[in-house]
Structure 1
């Protein structure tokens, strides 16, 4: 079941514009390794769920993973071949607004090689370019 808010004040949200780099949520805070976005955009709840399933399979009882984004934004769409007017479409899916530099997922309690492999699989499912980062740089 994809993530979505339990309740919202307004069902339909405006599109908005993703500008600038992330100033919050741009460093590894909970795990040892993270997946950082290099581009901005919307990350659908389905993509987050696909990443969660992938991380669960890789971790499987050894380590722990953290999801750092939540889909608060409702994205609406009008059915195909509909005439103009008749208002805004119904909410189709939920998305997280992501700026470049945001940490999407973190993982801890497993070796770096396993974490790198896990995050590579997760990054393949993401709609934008991502990179693997450490909590602490190699000294």
Structure 2
């Protein structure tokens, strides 16, 4: 079952714009390693799930994974070959608004090479460029 909010105040929202850089969620809060976006756009619930599955399959239950984004935005679409008018289309899927600098996933409890490879596989499922980030070790 895909990610979606249990309930929302409004069924449909306007499109809006994705401007600026990430204000929150732009640092590692839980794990040792993370994947950070460099571009902006929307990430669908299916893309989040595909990336999560890719990470978990590579790590093989070693380590813990945190998903730092959630699809709050309902995206509507009108049926194909439909004339204009007759109101807004029905909700087609749910998406998360992603700004540059947002941390998408975090992992801990695994080696840096395993985390890097897992995030490389997850990056292939995502619609924008990402980079690998790790927590600075203080000596």
TM-score range, shorter chain: over 0.9
Q: What is the root-mean-square deviation in Å for CA atoms of aligned residues?
A: 1.3
In 1: Cα distance, 2:43 partner to 2:137 partner: 28
Partner of 2:86: 86
Aligned residue pair count: 139
List alignment gaps of at least 5 residues for structure 2: none
Q: CA deviation at 1:61?
A: 2.4
Is it true that 1:73 corresponds to 2:108 in the alignment?
Answer: no
What TM-score does the superposition give when structure 2 sets the normalisation length? 0.96
In 1: Cα distance, 2:4 partner to 2:90 partner: 15
What TM-score does the superposition give when structure 1 sets the normalisation length? 0.96
Q: Map residues 86-125 of structure 1 onto 2, 5 A cutoff.
A: 86-125=86-125
Partner of 1:4: 4
List alignment gaps of at least 5 residues for structure 1: none
Partner of 1:17: 17
Could you say what secondary structure the match of 1:119 adopts?
helix
Any idea what the Cα deviations from partners look like across 1:15-53, whole Å, max 9, x if unmatched? 110111112000111000100000111100000010111
